[in-house]
Amino acid sequence: MAEPDQMVSAPRGVRPIRWGMGDAVAGWLLSQVGGAVTFSLAMALSGSRDPDDLSLGWVAAGQLGLWLGFLGVPWLASRTKGNGIVRDFGLRGERRDVVVGSVVGVLSQLVLLPLLYLPLLQLLDRDAGDVEQVARNLTDRATDPIGVVLLVLIVGLGAPVAEEVFYRGLVFRSLEKRFGTWPGIVVSGVVFGASHLEWLTLPGLALFGGILAYLTHRTQRLAPAVAAHVAFNMVTVVVLVTS
């Protein structure tokens, strides 16, 4: 098994892949710093003292640094150390990917996660509202049609695309290349869950992240995982906005 900085054999016309764990770690750190900078700028320019007071427009602006890192680092790593983001990370899709991914995302949100949290919430003496609180803090800001559109753009499109390119593209592929498929699936799922910095949502997001990594491995494409992530997030948006 190749080390992350080691050149691996490749078919004629295909460049050896040299990106790996170092790029994934550097990309995560750069994305977090970029996100912190743009979020701080959004806070300052909006005049808000409390992040919970930011409008959805400013929330979207605050995410730009994070998303730029999530998209830019895999693109740069694959361009300079591999064969491009499409070939290296499977940034492509087929018609069936939308259907398969959507079904996986909806079932994960409405069936798998409730089953996972049923014993956990009883053990921790919490309820479903505690798990939903972070998402509700965001959806409660969608008080008009423009707010709903911004919410869909942030949660339903922006976050799924950027996070899938980074976590199931660069992170999972780097872990898989270094440690093997199943360790890559498990570890990338945990990293995905932990990166949201909410301990109560970590088990559910780690499980979902593992499912997305498995989809990516099984199809060798990112489109099923993107579709599943969009559906997963949109279920939350619809439920919380209409409740």
What does the pLDDT look like over 50-109, one tens digit per residue?
888 899 999 999 999 999 999 999 999 999 999 999 999 999 999 999 999 999 999 999
pLDDT given at position 13:
65
Instruction: Report the pLDDT averaged over residues 192-205.
Output: 94
Round to whole Å and give the CA distance between 236 and 238: 6
Q: Are 176 and 217 in contact (CB under 8 A)?
A: yes
Does residue 4 register a pLDDT over 60? no
Round to whole Å and give the CA distance between 78 and 91: 12
Band the pLDDT of 10: cuts 50, 70, 90. Answer: low
> What one-character-per-residue DSSP string does 156-212 give?
IIIHHHHHIIIIIIIIHHHHHHHH-HHHHHHHHHHHHHHTT--TTTHHHHHHHHHHH
Q: Rounded to the nearest 5 degrees, what angle is found at the Cα of 155, between the Cα atoms of 55 and 31?
A: 90
Q: Are 222 and 119 in contact (CB under 8 A)?
A: no
Instruction: Report the pLDDT averaged over residues 198-221.
Output: 96
Task: Give me the residue label for tokens 């945990």.
Answer: 190
